[in-house]
Structure 1
Amino acid sequence: NWYVRRSRERFWAKGMEQDKINAYMTLYTALVTVAKAAAPMIPFMTEDIYQNLVKSIDASAPESIHLCDFPEVHENWIDPKMEEDMADLLEIVVMGRAARNTANIKNRQPIGTMYVKSEFQLSEFYKEIIEDELNVKEVVFKDDIADFISYSFKPQMRTVGPKYGKLLNKIKTTLSELDGNKAMAELKSTGELKLDIDGQEIVLLEEDLLIDMAQMEGYVSESDHTITVVLDTNLTPELIEEGFVRELVSKIQTMRKEAGFEVMDKIRVYAKDNDKIVSIMKNHDDEIKSEVLAEEIVTGETKGYEKEWNINSEKVTMAVERI
């Protein structure tokens, strides 16, 4: 499913370029191979898939998927480094989405920058995928994110008290004076935090600590043991306007579907009753038309399938008409 969504632009490319052929053949090969591998477990569903994808276009193919050879493993197709990079990428994307949810910013609203601190680096190829997935203009890998996040520590009384009762106040004072970011790095890497109290080594585990994370205003972060992501949630007027454009495209696509238009039908788009929305549509005329297969955007009137929308608290009446 992720591959299909990520390859959408390749499938929709004009003409029949080699990249488009590669995308279709990769999907076709994956579907047929998975169907053959799954045939013993889901015999009827895979037989239906096989008849649709293979037998319908190749009369010489075996009559049934259950008469085909079981798929062979192609060791030379395996790329462990790519699999590792994609696993890291997915973890960053999941955390980025969580940060968006925390900030209550919809995925259609572009964000300027996301900072990533991790034990690994990803090439520009993978960074561009992250940017596209999270609708972020730029992903920046950083060794230090202390500018955006700071940590402070207090002792957990119920665990530290019984172990170091007499030293509790001194432990509390020492923890309050620590460089929070360095202490957090030590805790994550070793699983413990060591303190020197009057010449005695005190070892505190994560369960012994109350950890408070402070974030700079305008930034939201998510963190696990190896990765921290920080979203810059400060939205410029340009980013906000681009968010409106994405919402408009989504609404028009919804109207196309509700109106019963075919995927490749050319349309005319109408909008009225909101000067701000009308202005944005005029400013991004070519971009919107390209996304929704529209020949023309008409403002101030409506024809065809009409609907009223509330887009980011802006009410507007829109319509679509098949040409």
Structure 2
Amino acid sequence: GEIDTEMGRQNDLTIMLTIDDEGKFLPGDIAKNPYEGMFYKKADKYITEDLIKANLLFKNERITHRFPYHDRCNTLLIQKAQNSWFVDLQSIKKQLLEKNENINWVPKHLKHGRFAKGIEQAPDWCISRNRFWATPMPVWESDDGDRIVISSIKQLEELSGKKVIDLHRPYIDEITITKNNKVYKRRSEVLDSWFEAGSMPYAQIHYPFENKEKFEKNFPGDYIVEYVGQVRAWFFFMHVMSTSLFNSNSFKNVISTGVMAGNDSRKMSKTYGNYTDPKEILKNVGGDTLRLYLMSSPLMVGENANFDDTELKNKSRNVLNPLWNSAKYFLIYANSNNWNAKNIEESNNILDLWIKIRLEQALWEFSQNIEKYQVPNAVRPIEEFCDDLSNWYVRRSRDRISQGNTKALSTLYSVLLKFSKGAAPLIPFITEKIYENLQKQSSNNALESVHLEYYPEVSKPSTQNNVVLKKMQMVRNIASVGNSIRKEHDLPIRQPLNTMYVLLSEELGSEYLNILKDELNIKNIVLTTKLQTAKNLVEKEEKNIKVVLDINISEELMLEGYLRDTMRDVQNLRKNAGLQVGEKINLVLQETPKNSQLLEKYQSEIKDKVDALTISLGNETRIEKV
């Protein structure tokens, strides 16, 4: 074995070639070998007897120990000394380590850790194998040991005078070369498969026989990715080959992924049933969901992970569905209001300005991290933006969009279009569909696919834009505290309240306060440096934000809350009747004192919100399609 051989080297023992490829003893060099032609295991008995006769046996007993075997046919294996071909790694280790400095490794610790240590500790690379299937070594040898190394099919045909039909065994073995009255036959060895894998960068385009300019222009490659086990395998052998042949690293950037285990931490196995069939995943949740899940996982920075169906589905529910709903919302009201991209208008509405700045920030962070090959860090801003777009911008702009406000529709169109171009490398399928639908609103000649577009130009938000981002985040934090109080006191958002006081020393303009009023359904927001305390005033602090909310509900506020409940009920009736946006109805409200009050005070508002031509009182609440 390997340990015995190494010990023999240290003690200057001769390394003897004792058995052939069939495991049978070879003839002796000096004298006759009494075990010649005998299978090595059958010889155990006779060797033991001879040692006893010669009084050389120290001890003879049977012990249980591990033994190598072929896992497919359970055949015992033995290591044997044989002549092999090697690449002298010791002579180029300094170069290998120097070229490693040119590579950007993800995760970073692999660069001077596993990869560099692998180089330092590597023995010479045995590139020959004694088997039938593999790429034959291109070495022809005469009986006196003279060798010819063939560099091309053309050279072999010229030297042999024969047409090369197939480069594999046994056909290539039939070709001989006659030169200077000597006959050269191909050596029987084949190449280690990693020799071919390491040749990928140039072999894949048939360099140097073809594509010389293409290869030299694009080598070393910009990027390569494989799982962490390839650090000492494929990545290593490519590095050896490129350093040996071109004095260059083979690639500039590499992501070495971790290993995905099943949901029970064991390896994925059909027998264990610990993972979902990939075909079912693609069918039921889609390729974009799977991409988001994997690309945001620790796998992309070399860490291991367990497969998690719940987290996978969360990507669809929390990211892709809200994004798609935002696009659908735009398309519904762009079509119902006959909006076209030729009607685009710039807007100074603070929400419109904010979402454009927010998109610029998200795409800038995405592209910066992608350039550094920090994939999970790149995914995060895209996911956060989808949430901001749906759960803040569209929700807070709902009325303007549904009423056909040109500036709101223009903003949402521009944002969705730019986002589809910027996020296409991450979520290619949904962005393609959004792009395709948006182009139906465009009068320009659109490209066939979002993936044919140039990547949008993005930049880091300016100081002025950062002020907008900061203030909008402040608004959202205040709203979060206010909603928390509502939830604790069972006050639904449909119920208007009168006043909220916010402990805040900095200014928030009226445009921000109006958003806050709408979000919390509160009549007045008062910024103050000193909070009041009184009956019906509830104080709460979260995220360094302190507010006091007046939870007293007057009769007038009660009626407004009832108005919102009523309009929600009517919208549900429209939905159940299958009515589309813009289809008109006649509305009948059940005759009650409250509904009479509603009609007296809010009839015009109700008509506008529920697309009603007329409103009357009757025995029950119902709608009639016009």
What is the TM-score of this pair, normalised by structure 2? 0.36
Mind listing any 5+ residue stretches in structure 2 that lack a counterpart? 1-389
The 5 Å alignment of 1:186-205 reads: none
The answer to whether 1:23 aligns with 2:326 is no
Distance 1:231 1:282 in 2: 30
> Contact 2:517/2:525 (CA < 8 Å) preserved in 1?
yes
C-alpha distance in 1 between matches for 2:403 and 2:529: 39
TM-fit CA distance, 1:223: 0.3
CA distance in 2 between counterparts of 1:57 and 1:289 reads: 32
CA deviations over 1:161-205 (Å, ceiling 9, x no partner) = xxxxxxxxxxxxxxxxxxxxxxxxxxxxxxxxxxxxxxxxxxxxx
Asked if 1:318 corresponds to 2:618, the answer is no
Q: Deviations over 1:140-160 (max 9, x none)?
A: 011111x31xxxxxxxxxxxx
In structure 1, distance between residues paired with 2:607 and 2:450: 44
* Contact 1:119/1:226 (8 A) holds in 2: no
**Is the Cα–Cα contact under 8 Å of residues 100 and 106 in structure 1 kept in the other structure?**
yes
Gap change, CA 1:219 and 1:45, over 3 Å in 2: same
1:36 correspondence with 2:339: no
Secondary structure of residue in 2 paired with 1:30: helix
Provide the C-alpha distance between the structure 1 equivalents of 2:514 and 2:481, rounded to a whole number of angstroms: 16
- Please identify which structure carries the higher strand content: 1
Note the C-alpha offset of 1:30.
1.0
> Partner amino acid for 1:243?
G
How far the C-alpha of 1:278 sits from its partner, in A, is 3.5
Give the distance between the partners of 1:270 and 1:119, measured in 2 at CA: 50
The answer on whether the counterparts of 2:477 and 2:543 sit within 8 Å (CA) in structure 1 is no
CA RMSD of the aligned region, Å?
A: 2.1
Amino acid across the alignment from 1:86: M
Choose which of 552, 560, 569 in structure 2 pairs with 1:234.
552
Q: Of residues 77, 80, 92 in structure 1, which corresponds to 2:478?
A: 92
1:9 aligns with 2:399: yes
**1:194-245 per-position Cα deviation (integer Å, ceiling 9, x unaligned):** xxxxxxxxxxxxxxxxxxxxxx431222203532111101111111111111
Deviation at 1:75, TM superposition (A): 5.7
Secondary structure of the equivalent of 1:277? Answer: helix
SS state at 2:621 partner = strand
Residues 86-107 of structure 1 deviation map (CA, whole Å, 9 limit, x = unaligned): 0101100111100111121110
Distance, in Å, in 2 between the alignment partners of 1:225 and 1:6 is: 22
In structure 1, C-alpha distance between the alignment counterparts of 2:400 and 2:603, rounded to whole Å: 23
Distance 1:139 1:241 in 2: 21
**Structure 2 CA distance for aligned equivalents of residues 26 and 76 of structure 1:** 18
The question of whether the paired residues in 2 share the 8 Å contact of 1:37 and 1:71 is answered with yes
Aligned residue number for residue 137 of structure 1: 523
Q: Distance in 2 between matches of 1:284 and 1:124?
A: 26
Asked if 1:294 is matched to 2:615, the reply is no
Report if aligned partners of 2:591, 2:617 keep a CA contact under 8 Å in 1.
no
1:14-63 superposed Cα distances (whole Å, 9 cap, x missing partner): 6xxxxx33222211111111111111122222222222222774673332
Aligned residue pairs total: 235
Cα pair distance change 1:321/1:87, threshold 3 Å:
same
Query: 1:107 aligned to 2:493?
Result: yes
Matching of residues 140-289 of structure 1 within 5 Å: 140-145=526-531, 147-148=532-533, 216-224=534-542, 226-272=544-590, 274-289=592-607
Q: Of 480, 489, 511, which aligns to 1:125?
A: 511
CA shift for structure 1 position 117:
0.4
- Once the two structures are TM-superposed, the CA of residue 120 in structure 1 deviates from its matched residue by 2.5
| TM-score scaled by length of structure 1 | 0.67
Contact kept, 8 Å, 1:118 with 1:226, in 2: the verdict is: no
Residue 46 of structure 1 aligns with an amino acid whose one-letter code is T
Q: Identify which of structures 1 and 2 has the higher relative contact order when contacts are C-alpha pairs closer than 8 Å and 6+ apart.
A: 1
One-letter amino acid of the structure 2 residue matched with residue 319 of structure 1: R
Query: What is the Cα deviation at residue 254 of structure 1?
Result: 1.2
Distance in 2 of aligned mates of 1:280 and 1:24? 31
Quick one: distance in 2 between partners of 1:75 and 1:223?
A: 32
Is the contact between residue 113 and residue 138 of structure 1 (CA under 8 Å) also seen in structure 2? Answer: yes
Q: Which amino acid aligns with 1:234?
A: N
3-state SS of the aligned residue for 1:109? coil
Distance 1:281 1:296 in 2: 11
